[in-house]
Amino acid sequence: MILMKIKLLCILLLFIAQLGYSQIIKGKVTSNNYPAIDVEIINATTKTIAVSDSQGEFTITAKNNDEILFISKNHESKKLVMNPLLFTNNELVVDLVLKAEQLKEVKITNMASIKLGQADWEQQKLDDYDVQKNAVKPNVQGVYMGGIPNGMNFVRIAGMVANLFKKDKDPQKKEKELLDFKTFTDQNCKSNYFTQTLGLKVEEVELFKEYCTADPLASQIVSENNKLRLMDFLFEKSISFKKL
């Protein structure tokens, strides 16, 4: 028994002596008993680098007391100081811990049943599709692509305005107010006021007028025949219109 201990001590001393000089070290990097691929093994002392292969194996030049770093985008980094006790059957086996995934909080809510033909739900899905489609549409500088970058869904807004008219108890009265406000606006605003002062596009002007008419304040401004208040009203409405 004593002889065996002496033999093991001699082997250990011999191994330490060998590590006193740089030599090629063979090793393997694992994680949860699986090979860890593309792990960078860096000898911080000699500034040499190796990368683990598809089997997690690597070779690198090192000696006793060299600092060895193991770096991977999928695992927690690890640092070892080279010494004989790290070896198993003349191989350096290192186990890395997977990085904890930061799971996004997912809120699950009860969704009301949707029946076919529900216009509000169908329109919302169409709007979502338009947003996604416009987001991936290529934007060629200097070339008109047939649309307005980051533009508004005119059909959607027109539908919203139309719904406001439908809810009115007296459609004929509402139509009269619409015509009166547009006429009042045209009489008091130059044609370039909407594009140059309010910063609207030409194709947005008529829709903007309808948008303003949906506000109950529009009919009040017409009845007061107050041009200054009309200018303030149009300016404020243009800000909210551009956010649609």
Query: Which residue, 212, 206, 138, 151, is CA-closest to 177?
Result: 212
SS3 assignment, position 35: strand
Tens of pLDDT along 71-108?
988 899 899 999 989 998 889 999 999 988 643 444 54
Tokens of 186: 């045209």
Tens of pLDDT along 195-215?
888 888 888 888 888 888 888
Asked whether residue 162 carries a pLDDT value surpassing 70, the answer given is no
pLDDT above 70 covers a percentage of the chain that reads 60
For residue 114, name the pLDDT band (cuts at 50, 70, 90). very low
Q: Tell me, what's the pLDDT at 125?
A: 57
Quick check: 78 and 36 in contact, CB under 8 A?
A: no
Tens of pLDDT along 123-147?
665 666 555 555 555 555 555 555 5
Query: Which residue, 197, 193, 198, 187, is CA-closest to 222?
Result: 187
Query: Which residue, 194, 222, 221, 197, is CA-closest to 209?
Result: 194
Q: Tell me, what's the pLDDT at 177?
A: 47
Could you give all domains of the chain from N- to C-terminal order, each with its CATH number? 22-95 (2.60.40.1120), 154-242 (no CATH)
Q: What is the DSSP letter of 170?
A: -
Q: Tell me, what's the pLDDT at 244?
A: 72
- The label of the residue with tokens 């439908």 reads 166
Tens of pLDDT along 15-66?
555 555 678 999 999 999 999 999 999 998 888 999 999 999 999 999 999 9
For residue 156, name the pLDDT band (cuts at 50, 70, 90). low
For residue 161, name the pLDDT band (cuts at 50, 70, 90). low
Q: Tell me, what's the pLDDT at 180?
A: 76
